[in-house]
Structure 1
Amino acid sequence: MRRFPPSPSLERKVERVNARVEIVIACEGLVTEPKYILDCAKYYGSGMVVVRVLDKTGVPLTVVRAAIQERKKLLAKYRKQKELGPVDGCFRVWAIFDKDDHDVDEALALAKEHKVCVAFSNPCFELWPILHLVDYGAQDDRHILQKLLNQHMPTYNHQSSPNIDFDSIKEHFDIAYQRACLLNQSRDAEGCTSGRPSTTVGELVIKIQQNGKVAARRAAANR
């Protein structure tokens, strides 16, 4: 029996799907963080990054454990499908949580042990969007930061509308990342890594940008 090769249109479709990168996130928050990361994937990911949000939420330790379990499942899945390429190249698993009033040392250590990436903010996630808008370095608590974000982003309200106005900050990523790096470097120099104020959310956004560019190049090469 004569075998016919797949049509070009079907081949292109498969290649494009395989080129996409999946990033899985486990979040402490139900609204603010997931929506922001999904917006980042759409805008910075060149349409080639898929973000999947785990249903499990809770305190930082719970979030990290959920991320660890998901990573184990994905490792098992991709090891059976060797044609997908290097295991860690197929997906990334991130845990997103804040210091707030939590003891986060165990959560941070557990994530590192199990190779789960962490986007951590001290005192709270709101620090990251604030850095897009103003240069900030005070050691205020989360309540003050939430009010400060509301001042600079009137559509945001921690109680009634905890959504980041992504369109208002999306072009300011570079300056926000520079400011975050300076804060983190200062905390390192002080001997209190992850101290207040600090945030590594920008590292996750950088990965989305990088993976989006790589996936787009691979898709273009396969056309």
Structure 2
Amino acid sequence: MMQLPSAPSIQRKSSFIQPKVEIVIACEGKVTEKHYLNSCKTAYGSGMVQIRWLPITGVPMTVVNAAVEERKVLLERARKSADSFDVFRVWAVFDRDEHPEVPEALELARVNKIDVAFSNPCFEIWPLLHLIDYGAVHGRHKVQSMLNEVMPSYHHDKSPVVDFDMIKDNFGRAYAKADYLNRSRSDDCDPFGCPMTTVGVLVKKIIENGKGAFSRGAKVANTTYSQSARR
């Protein structure tokens, strides 16, 4: 049975420089996910996190293949250069939607150690969880419509941008709801079934690394990515 993706975590210490974490993302969408996650980096990352977007969109298999190839490049670069990021992760962000080969894409990511922010039926379930209790089995159009009802500035076709300021203080609430949905899907022996989302796992990593930012008088800055991420 497939397991939900998880990112490893240990502490990394530095007394003199501000540590950086690079999150490289291959993403299915062109606007919604990118705008939201860039906002997360700005609000939660505290200068500790860099997000780099791969110039790829498309179906899940295309996205995951791009992530796999980029991870190979980064691993090789890290072996040869001391100037590369000490810590990096490569993520694939995509939805169930009506795409082909989704199980195959998820398995390819798992085998190649690519972290996945996956949503079923669609990305919009994640901001929706910040605002309402939700756990129904709906298609993507219904979920997008529901988000529009509680977030009028959002419209999937006309204005596909999440109002980050509206939801930014509700992360903990949304994460708990998503975790409940994800555990329920696992209990059903269908960990990637509808409804579920692991976008919160990615956002949590941004927040955790952002909390490691230097403050006045701080002696140690922490990140939560493992050095094994480079292996």
> Whole-Å Cα distance in 1 between the matches of residues 212 and 135 of structure 2?
34
Asked if the contact 2:117–2:199 (Cα under 8 Å) also holds between the matched residues in 1, the reply is: yes
Residues 23-38 of structure 1 aligned to structure 2 (within 5 Å): 23-38=23-38
User: What are the within-5 Å matches in structure 2 for residues 11-160 of structure 1?
Assistant: 15-16=17-18, 19-82=19-82, 90-102=87-99, 103-160=101-158
Aligned partners of 1:15 and 1:222 also within 8 Å: no
Deviation digits for residues 68-90 of structure 1 (CA, Å, limit 9, x no counterpart): 11111111111112476xx8x52
Alignment-mate amino acid for residue 51 of structure 2: V
Please tell me the residue identity of whatever aligns with 1:15. Answer: I
CA distances 1:111-156 after superposition (whole Å, capped 9, x unpaired): 0011000000000000000000001000000000000000000000
* Structure 1: gaps of 5 or more residues: 1-13
- Unaligned 5+ residue runs, structure 2? 1-15, 222-231
Contact kept, 8 Å, 2:96 with 2:118, in 1: the verdict is yes
Q: Which amino acid aligns with 1:178?
A: A
Aligned: 1:183 with 2:181 = yes
TM-score, normalised relative to structure 1: 0.86
Deviations, residues 175-218 of structure 1 (Å, cap 9, x unaligned): 0000000000111111111100000000000111112223547x
Aligned length: 204
What pairs with 1:151-170 in structure 2 (closer than 5 Å)? 151-170=149-168
Q: Would the alpha carbon gap of residues 62 and 83 (structure 1) be closer, same or farther in structure 2, given more than 3 Å must change?
A: closer
Report the CA distance shift for 1:177/1:79 in structure 2 as closer, same or farther (over 3 A): same
For the 8 Å contact 1:41–1:50, the answer to whether it is kept is yes
In structure 2, distance between residues paired with 1:93 and 1:211: 15
- Asked which structure has the greater CA Rg, the reply is 1
Do 2:131 and 2:167's aligned partners in 1 also have CA atoms closer than 8 Å? yes
What is the rounded CA distance, in whole Å, between the counterparts of 2:121 and 2:114 in structure 1?
Answer: 21
- Contact 1:26 1:63 survives alignment (8 Å): yes
Q: Secondary structure at the match of 1:133?
A: coil
User: 1:7: which partner in 2?
Assistant: none
Identity %: 55
Choose between structure 1 and 2 for higher RCO, CA contacts under 8 A separated by at least 6 residues.
Answer: 2
Code of the residue aligned with 2:30 in structure 1: it is L
Query: Which TM-score applies when normalising by structure 2?
Result: 0.83
1:48 is displaced (CA, Å) by 1.3
User: Which amino acid in the other structure matches residue 89 of structure 2?
Assistant: R
Letter in 1 for 2:192: S
Partner secondary structure for residue 118 of structure 2: strand
More helix by share: 1
Residue 206, structure 1, aligned to residue 204, structure 2: yes
Letter of the structure 1 residue corresponding to residue 63 of structure 2: V
2:17 alignment partner, SS class:
helix
| Counterpart residue type for residue 91 of structure 1 | F
